[in-house]
Structure 1
Amino acid sequence: MRTLGRLALFAATSLLAWPALAASPPLKPCRIDGIPNELLCGSAQRPLDPARPDGVKIDVHYLVVPAMARNKQPDAVLMLAGGPGQSAIGIAARVLPRLSRLNNRRDIVFIDQRGTGKSAPLECHEDKKPADTEQLDTAAQMKRLDTCRAALETLPYGRDGGLRFFTTTIAMQDMDAVREQLGVPQWNLIGGSYGTRAALEYLRQFPTKVRRTVIDGVAPPDMVLPASFSPDTQAALEKLFDANAKTHPQLRADWQALLASLPRAVTVAHPLTGKPEHFTVDRDLLLRAVRAPLYQPSLAAALPAALHAAATEGRFESLFGLTSAFGGGKGVQLATGMHFSVICAEDYPRLPQATDRPGADYGRLDAELYARVCKTWPQGEVPAAFYTLPPAPSPVLVLSGGADPVTPPRHGEHVAKALASGHPERVQHVVVPESGHGVMAIGCMRDVMFRFIDAKTDAAALPQDAGCATRIPRPTAFQPVQQEATP
């Protein structure tokens, strides 16, 4: 990852760039892994239960990357992380290069949402371990989650049903408290994946405090995540089959043969240690293993060869290597406890009424897992208004990847239509046909986002030309190198 060369400039001037902070708790110099320069950190004390301001308190931690220019704009950029369960501060080093132009004249703020990072974390013991095949096993996962929930309920902020107070609605109230503490008049919101749901909820609760919004890989509040996972992943898998029909005409047959061969005992060399691992591949394990690389077309390009090797030769190293490649990396891991506190409160109660039709292969895989966990997980109260999508009060740029297995364009289209009600000029939906989960990562999209947020007027903010991304082709399928036979 490239570093931001000019970050050193604010080492001596950053405190001068915050005239509105005189009455606020001081920001302190801090260092973040992956960023070589000194930044600023702070925290806001918040009630665990908003209805009991004198009760248990938690500290919501945040990171500020000050604008480079002295003559900065007052509207800071707030990055809302995905998951649910991802630490915003944990992904700062990855995200900052995409926001470098915005950082010239705007502060960039990363807030660890309650339950993540340093903000009353709800982490399970396994959260910081690299992904491996054992973590895909349903039975083992259920045991770990039961143990994790019991441990979290012993924490000061987990006792007496404390896990109920980590909903998106309450968390967005924390975000606004940080805005007030920093003296920021309005945020420019950027949310990815679950961060789009967070952004939409902030926009609903605090419409006058948002200047511009970018949502990438949209997870609407009325989307029942455990139910939508199945058809959306199935659609991405079918698109993979279609895209490789000429180079791998047997791919669908390989897939069906592989499914029919399960369960089967296999031995696989661990992709990181090289040590042999012995386990049983069942249908659930295979389906979860295949989903992971579908998130990124560059990894999905290796799936045809990996599936062929597994189906015809019983070799699973490539497939589980791709799964580990997706799951690795610092800052990627989720706080599992926060994840289930959100999903069990916001999605699980609506699961019986979900209208999404299960995928042919994926069926009710995810719905059944979440139903089992949420039966015993404390569930917070969610206001009915949370599931609504009021018309956008300010410009919104909606981004979707056509090959996304979890938040494909159908969700972005639904949100864009609702937000544009009455004011279609305020919303633009950009679909990048061959992108996976996350369009902002495409190099030229940083300029699109910059032009959108930096535009002087709302009328000039939209529409934006994103042809630089929409014309990018799908990566061609990986072809293993064949060793020539020795004469």
Structure 2
Amino acid sequence: MLRTLGRITTLSTLLALALLVRPALAGAPLKPCRLDGIPNELQCGSLKRPLDPARPDGVSIDVHYVVVPALARNKQPDAVLLLAGGPGQSAINVAARVLPRLARLNNRRDLVFIDQRGTGKSAPLECADDSQLPITEQLEAGAQLRRLEACRNQLESLLYGRDGGLRFFTTTIAMQDMEAVREALGVPQWNLVGASYGTRAALEYLRQFPSRVRRTVIDGVAPPDMVLPASFSTDTQAALDKLFDANAKTHPALRDDWQRLLASLPRRVTVAQPLTGAPETFMVDRELLLRAVRPPLYQPALAAALPAALHIAATEGRFDGLFGLTSAFGSGKGMKLAMGMHFAVMCAEDVPRLADATDSPGKDFARMDAEGYARMCKTWPRGDVPADFYRIPPAPSPVLLMSGGADPATPPRHGERVAKALAVGHPERVQHLVVPEAGHGVSAVNCVRDLMFRFIDAKADAEALPQDGACAVRIPRPVAFQPVQAPAQGGAAK
């Protein structure tokens, strides 16, 4: 419950204190709480929800949420809801990381972070942490499959995992939880901010509850129809080829280095485990290399070090730099995914449509991801997905889409398709901002934060769009990293 006011002895004192003490959101069962990385006191709550919507009297789960209260006394009633990525990321765990991007919005609007069912504290479907495992165990497909099978067996022993309970963690059901939280908090309308998989969640919320959304920002568009395991090959290949082209002047032999590296596999290498520093010796095959090169492509700052890492691996046989970059992506609080929830979504929404996917496989990545997810989903309980889930209706309110041109997972081609569907009948309600040299996530660009603020803060829909994104579009790709060579005896470093 909200913090009590203490014993009040007179009506006038009660009224005076009531004016001074303002709850974050009216009608919510909230209590004061703290989160690591956020200095201010927050408000936390939870809501009981049926695991299976068709059985409201059956097994229930607790959906947890955090409210970051608006700073200004004269606040706006439409809160901002952050929809996390993954699928499998905890919105609450990532709150401290994304709060700086939403700081201006937080001046007059509450920010709400809901752990989607299956993540964080909301009936988590978490598998054992593999970050300390040997590198080959982390990346090798067979080892991943064995860990997932063990994880599924463990999750099916939980109360909400028994009797097919893992089928009820789809995006559609999860958005019904979000709507229930909105009602409990007394928010008239959300301003949705979704990133990566959170864009799919935002589109599904918008489809189910169009009148409950005031504005929508989707960053790194992952629409429901993208068939992720198939598109992953196409889009990662395009990002890798773009890296080669962008570094053609500084690293003219980069493509040759890449082909030489592929041709040298399989090979036995010894590297230091990036987190523990312990030396590991293992066999690198083609699939392991492809899995290692993908994560740095998500972030241009990491990708800038790939040319040097690939050159050293190809010419000197040293892989420490490459595997160090792989581990650097995804490190830090809030980045770990609840892999059980990840596969609950993927196995229900994407993998069943693989046979109908139209994406052309990348020449290097081929069908690696499609085949891998098909194997992993073979025995995973599969939830029901309504046919309309894959339909994107016209936007009922303004939507700002953002895509990074160097994104290996959700490049502009997906945002273009979604923008076209949303704009039917009302093109003025939709804008697609493409930042050519950005990776996975455009909102990390400083000036985009102000753009998002102006979009959501605009009083009238007609004033919300278009927004001027020239500040972001002009940002160049980070210059390729050049390793410093140790000086020769008596010489200077080069």
Q: TM-score, normalised by structure 1?
A: 0.95
CA distance, structure 2, for counterparts of residue 150 and residue 401 of structure 1:
38
Taking the aligned partners of 2:424 and 2:382, their CA distance within structure 1 comes to 32
Tell me the amino acid that sits aligned with residue 163 of structure 2: D
Q: Which amino acid aligns with 2:311?
A: H
CA distance in structure 2 between the aligned counterparts of 1:333 and 1:377, rounded to whole angstroms: 21
- Deviation per residue, 1:109-133 (Å, 9 max, x gap): 0000000000000000126758944
Give the root-mean-square deviation of aligned CA atoms.
1.4
Where does 1:135-154 land on structure 2 (aligned, <5 Å)? 135-154=138-157
- The one-letter amino acid paired with 2:61 is I
Please name the residue that 1:430 is paired with: 433
> Of the candidates 412, 419, 424, which is equivalent to residue 416 of structure 1?
419
The letter of the residue matching 1:452 is F
Which ranges of structure 2 fall in alignment gaps of 5 or more residues?
A: 1-17
The corresponding residue for 1:444 is 447
1:174 to 164, 172, 177: 177
Aligned-residue identity in percent: 78
Distance 2:185 2:132 in 1: 35
**Equivalent position of 1:351 in the other structure:** 354
CA shift, 1:15, in A, is 5.8
Q: Matched residue of 1:176: which SS?
A: helix
Check if 1:464 corresponds to 2:470: no
Matched to 2:396, the amino acid is: P
Contact 1:133–1:320 (CA<8 Å) still a contact in 2? no
Higher mean displacement: 274-283 or 446-455: 274-283
Q: Tell me if structure 2 keeps the 8 A contact 1:78–1:110.
A: yes
In the alignment, the residues of structure 2 paired with residue 305 and residue 13 of structure 1 have an alpha-carbon distance, to the nearest angstrom, of 61
Instruction: Give 1:361's aligned residue.
Output: 364
> Stretches of 4+ moved more than 3 A in 1?
12-15, 127-133
1:126-153 deviations in Å (ceiling 9; x for gaps): 2675894421111111110110011010
Task: Classify the secondary structure of the residue corresponding to 2:157.
Answer: coil
Cα distance change on mapping 1:455 and 1:95 into 2, 3 Å = same
The residue aligned with 1:5 is none
Equivalent positions of 1:189-268 (< 5 A) are: 189-268=192-271
Which structure has the larger Rg? 2
Aligned to 1:478: 481
| Residue equivalent to 1:72 | 75
SS at match of 1:16: coil
TM, length-normalised to structure 2: 0.94
Contact 1:131 1:327 in 2 (8 A): no
Counterpart position of 1:396: 399
Distance 1:13 1:297, change over 3 A: farther
Q: 1:15 to 1:59 in 2, by over 3 A?
A: farther
* Distance 1:132-1:327 versus aligned 2 partners, 3 A rule: farther
The answer (yes or no) to whether the contact 2:85–2:195 under 8 Å persists in 1 is yes
Q: Is the 8 A contact 1:17 1:70 kept in 2?
A: no
1:125 aligns with 2:125: no
Gaps (5+ residues) in structure 1? 1-11
Partner deviation per Cα, 1:28-68 (whole Å, 9 max, x = no partner): 11111211222110001000000000000000000000000
- Residue by residue over 1:437-468, the C-alpha shift from the partner in whole angstroms, topping out at 9 and shown as x without a partner, is 00000111110000000001000000000111
- 1:184-232 residue CA offsets vs partner (Å, 9 max, x unmatched): 0000000000000000000000000000000000000111000000010
Other-structure match for 2:456? 453
Q: 1:354 to 1:131 in 2, by over 3 A?
A: farther
How big is the shift at 1:471?
0.3
For 2:313 and 2:149, the matched residues in 1 are separated by: 33
Q: Distance in 2 between matches of 1:193 and 1:132?
A: 26
| Cα contact 1:266–1:281 (8 A) shared by 2 | yes
Distance 1:143 1:13 in 2: 58
| Number of residue pairs aligned between Structure 1 and Structure 2 | 473
SS of the counterpart of 1:323? Answer: helix
Trace 1:54-65 onto structure 2 (pairs within 5 A). Answer: 54-65=57-68
SS at match of 1:45: strand
In structure 1, how many angstroms separate the alpha carbons of the residues matched to 2:463 and 2:260?
A: 54
The amino acid of 2:244's aligned partner reads F
Aligned to 1:6: none
1:16 Cα shift? 1.4
Determine helix, strand or coil for the equivalent of 1:430.
strand
CA distance in 2, matches of 1:146, 1:332: 22
* Cα distance, 1:370 vs structure 2: 0.5
Verify the 8 A CA contact 1:127 1:335 in the aligned structure 2: no
Q: Aligned partners of 1:82, 1:279: CA distance in 2, in Å?
A: 32
Distance 1:58 1:444 in 2: 39
The structure 2 residue matched to 1:17, chosen from 8, 12, 23, is: 23
When structure 1 is superposed on structure 2, of 28-37 and 228-237 the one drifting more is 28-37
The SS at the match of 1:434 is: coil
Instruction: After TM superposition, list the pairs within 5 Å mapping 1:257-336 onto structure 2.
Output: 257-336=260-339
Q: Which moved more, 1:269-278 or 1:165-174?
A: 269-278
Residues 1:481 and 1:127: Cα distance change in structure 2 (over 3 Å): closer
Is the 2:132–2:276 contact (alpha carbons within 8 Å) kept by the matching residues of 1? no
Match of 2:50 among 43, 47, 50: 47
Q: What is the rounded CA distance, in whole Å, between the counterparts of 1:323 and 1:13 in structure 2?
A: 53
